[in-house]
């Protein structure tokens, strides 16, 4: 019998069949289906790692957890804090999808909504302010700067990709949000295969509609991000990400969010240049159920 902390990770790796035109020449694309985590997204991994690290260092229990989120890390925090009996305060833009807000409230989190025009950076700034205003009450988890974020992927996502592909992975592609998924997974895979090609996907401009991803040139760059380790940088337009998100549902039977469509766009570009026999692995961060009210899936 397992608790919710024990259910994080070990998500399936699914091959993309109909949307991969390069399969005919022996280039495969596969994606980690992170919606199969108990909290429904890849963010269960860093949230779990951050909480366990805080407990090991004696930070929790004692104060309320506080962090900025675009939604998915907040859901993971709220779920795991509920399981441990911790108070959870989350700062996020007020235009987060109705589904995300409802899930957060269902887990009992206290929400602090910020101006949508300030984007995720506005939420980050407000979380820093709250932590400074009440340091005795709040512990600022700070997922963007917390080393436990990328370490969680080094310890779980990377080993899973290596094991599930039986060491055959040749390329790894991931979106840039907190950047933890790319940083931690790439470091692990490079230790196993120094020649592995790494590619980072980000929105093509500052004003975009790909939830969970950051246009780093015009955003607060997460302190855990190391540019020289990011590999090839791929810019994806919102329209391309949305088109592929809808296609994943209708042609692959995978109901995923917009950042997954962006990840597939990056993987397809990498696959187009890859030699026969290559295996391109990417990450689909969450499911499409929490975006149904946004019109993303038509």
User: Could you give the residue numbers annotated as active site?
Assistant: 43, 259
208 near 74, Cβ under 8 Å?
A: no
Which residues 6+ apart lie within 8 Å of 75 measured at CB? 39, 40, 41, 43, 100, 103, 104, 107
What span, in angstroms and rounded, lies between the C-alpha atoms of 187 and 115? 35
What's the first-to-final CA gap in the chain, in angstroms?
40
The backbone region for 250, taken as left when phi is positive above 0, alpha when psi lies in -120 to 50, beta otherwise, is alpha
Which stretches of 85-199 are DSSP H helices? 98-106, 119-133, 147-155, 157-164, 180-192
The CA-based angle 198-247-182, given to 5 degrees, is 20
Token pair in block for residue 116: 């949508």
**In the numeric block, which tokens belong to residue 102?**
């409802």
Distance CA 283, CA 9 (A): 13
Contacts of 185 (CB under 8 A, 6+ apart): 153, 154, 157, 158, 161, 172, 174, 283
């Amino acid at each position: 019998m397992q608790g919710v902390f024990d259910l994080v990770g070990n998500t399936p790796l699914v091959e993309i069949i109909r949307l991969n035109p390069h399969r005919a020449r022996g280039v495969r694309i596969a994606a980690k289906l992170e919606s199969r985590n108990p909290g429904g997204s890849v963010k269960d991994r860093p949230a779990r790692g951050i909480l366990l690290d805080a407990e090991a260092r004696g930070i929790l229990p004692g104060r309320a957890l506080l962090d900025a989120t675009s939604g998915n890390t907040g859901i993971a925090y709220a779920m795991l804090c509920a399981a441990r009996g911790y108070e959870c305060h989350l700062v996020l833009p007020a235009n987060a999808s109705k589904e995300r807000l409802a899930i957060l409230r269902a887990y009992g989190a206290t929400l602090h909504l910020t101006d949508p025009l300030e984007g995720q950076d506005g939420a980050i700034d407000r979380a820093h302010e709250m932590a400074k205003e009440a340091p005795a009450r709040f512990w600022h988890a700070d997922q963007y700067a917390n080393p436990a974020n990328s370490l969680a992927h080094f310890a779980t996502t990377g080993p899973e990709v290596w094991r599930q592909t039986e060491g055959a992975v040749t390329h790894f592609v991931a979106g840039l949000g907190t950047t933890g998924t790319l940083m931690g997974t790439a470091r692990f895979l490079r230790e196993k295969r120094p020649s592995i090609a790494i590619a980072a996907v980000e929105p093509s401009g500052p004003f975009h509609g790909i939830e969970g991803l950051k246009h780093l040139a015009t955003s607060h760059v997460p302190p855990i991000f190391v540019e020289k380790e990011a590999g090839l940088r791929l810019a994806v337009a919102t329209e391309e990400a949305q088109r592929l998100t809808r296609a994943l549902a209708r042609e692959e039977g995978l109901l995923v969010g917009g950042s997954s469509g962006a990840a597939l766009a990056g993987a397809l570009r990498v696959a187009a240049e890859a030699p026969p026999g290559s295996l391109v692995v990417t990450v689909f961060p969450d499911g499409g159920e929490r975006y149904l009210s946004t019109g993303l899936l038509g």
